[in-house]
């Protein structure tokens, strides 16, 4: 009986020391949808945060082409091993004080292990397919594919009069927006609008806010006309 108990205790200790053994990369792909608004797993596709395509065993703050790292993360010396990813996903701010990442962390240890398994699979080009969550008609991986904008999103003209912008779209309609609620943005990625073809994207809980996205900053001023009728 004593020998049996010792063997059982050893087996339990082994399982406890290998938290990644039961990790599910396929489930991790689903949990990762919570991260997809800011991170892509496509190589070189940076969003609010860097691409996580080859994050496994990569030094923190070193993704090629990403320029928005905090000084705290770049100087942390962290390498993204399983243990460090576990700490980071649990509480980014506690792991790297001063980080610019505002994500509060994943509370469930199982969720963290599954996401870690998924990120390792992505880095090894073995990522399981993940069912896309339901999004708007132009959404893909948490980011709008602006080249696929429907007529009601294709901006044909913008006029400004006082504190009001009138935005005309390809469906023949015009929308009046208070200047404080309209933002002008640029997107030079492959999902951005075509040159000279800005797109309007709605926002705000009451539908009273919007962003007009251009392919390049140089397009904005010439496109907006001062006009009162």
Domain topology for 20-123: Cytochrome Bc1 Complex; Chain D, domain 2 (1.10.760)
Say yes or no to pLDDT of 193 above 90: yes
| Burial of 166 from C-beta contacts in 10 A (0-12 / 13-18 / 19+) | middle
Q: Report the pLDDT averaged over residues 198-205.
A: 77
Mean of the per-residue pLDDT values of the chain: 85
Say yes or no to pLDDT of 76 above 70: yes
Say yes or no to pLDDT of 135 above 50: no
Return the bridge partners of 158, or none. Answer: 167, 224
List the domain boundaries for the chain.
Answer: 20-123, 146-226
Q: How far from the centroid of its chain's Cα atoms is residue 175's Cα? A: 29
| The length of the chain, given as a count of residues | 229
Contact 43, 51 (CB under 8 A): yes
Provide CB contacts within 8 A for 83, sequence distance 6+: none
Q: Rounded distance, CA 103 to CA 94, Å?
A: 12
**What's the pTM?**
0.65
If you search the block for the tokens 């049996």, which residue do you land on?
Answer: 4
Give me 58's structure tokens: 């990569």
Q: Report the pLDDT averaged over residues 107-115.
A: 96
**Within 10 A of 47 (CB to CB), how many other CB atoms are there?**
19
């Amino acid at each position: 009986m004593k020998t049996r108990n010792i063997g059982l205790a050893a087996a339990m200790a082994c399982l406890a020391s290998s938290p990644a053994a039961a990790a599910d990369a396929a489930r991790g792909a689903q949990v990762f949808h919570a991260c997809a608004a800011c991170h892509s797993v496509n190589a070189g596709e940076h969003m609010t945060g860097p691409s996580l395509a080859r994050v496994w065993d990569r030094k923190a703050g070193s993704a090629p082409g990403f320029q928005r790292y905090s000084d705290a993360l770049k100087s942390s010396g962290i390498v993204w091993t399983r243990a460090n990813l576990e700490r980071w996903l649990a509480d980014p701010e506690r792991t790297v004080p001063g980080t610019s990442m505002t994500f509060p962390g994943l509370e469930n240890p199982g969720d963290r292990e599954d996401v870690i398994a998924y990120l390792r699979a992505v880095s090894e080009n073995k990522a399981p397919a993940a069912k896309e969550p339901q999004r708007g008609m132009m959404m893909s991986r948490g980011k709008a594919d602006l080249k696929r904008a429907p007529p009601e999103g294709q901006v044909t003209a913008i006029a400004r009069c006082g504190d009001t912008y009138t935005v005309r779209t390809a469906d023949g309609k015009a929308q009046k927006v208070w200047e404080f609620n309209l933002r002008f943005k640029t997107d030079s990625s492959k999902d951005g609008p075509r040159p000279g073809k800005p797109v309007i994207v709605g926002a705000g809980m009451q539908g009273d806010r919007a962003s007009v996205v251009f392919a390049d900053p140089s397009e904005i001023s010439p496109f907006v006309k001062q006009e009162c009728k």
